Amino acid sequence: MDPALSRALERVADALAAIAAGDPGPYASCWADSADVTLFGAWGPMEKGHHAVTQTFEWVGSRFSEGTLVPRYDVVEVGGDLAYTVGTERGSVRVDGGEARPMTIRVTHVYKRIQDDWWLVHRHADFPPADQRRP
């Protein structure tokens, strides 16, 4: 794997741990400063543009406390100056001051190589629905 992409994935993992604990700053700093970044968030927000996306992370971080989120990648693929990951983020979080509870989110991230470093440019996340193939 590209060493710069490996470093970016490590930054994102550290940043997810921070946002689950209530600090959205590190995750916001993983994003390209571009009008073209997009977010399809697990709690409903759909945003475009660096400012709107990072403001949404402020809101998400304000809801979390004393939590952990750890990414697990099922797919990491690179093609030219774009890369994507597909997987889950799992952990335990307190939301809105409630009790700690387990949380699993399905996540696809898209990265773009900008000046020899990788930056997030898209996140699509949701809470996995029940598999309707099973009774």
CATH topology of domain 3-126: Nuclear Transport Factor 2; Chain: A, (3.10.450)
Number of H helices, E strands in the chain: 3, 6
From residue 3, alpha-carbon distances to 69, 107, 116 in Å are 23, 22, 10
121 and 36 Cβ atoms separated by less than 8 Å? yes
Strands (E), 23-100: 38-40, 46-48, 64-79, 82-95
Instruction: Give per-residue pLDDT as tens, 68-117.
Output: 999 999 999 999 999 999 999 999 999 999 999 999 999 999 999 999 99
Structure tokens, 90: 């799992």
Is 36 or 132 the better-scoring residue by pLDDT? 36
Element (H, E) at 108: strand 101-114
Instruction: Give per-residue pLDDT as tens, 30-66.
Output: 999 999 999 998 888 899 999 999 999 999 989 999 9
Residue 92 burial by Cβ neighbours in a 10 Å radius (0-12, 13-18, 19+): middle
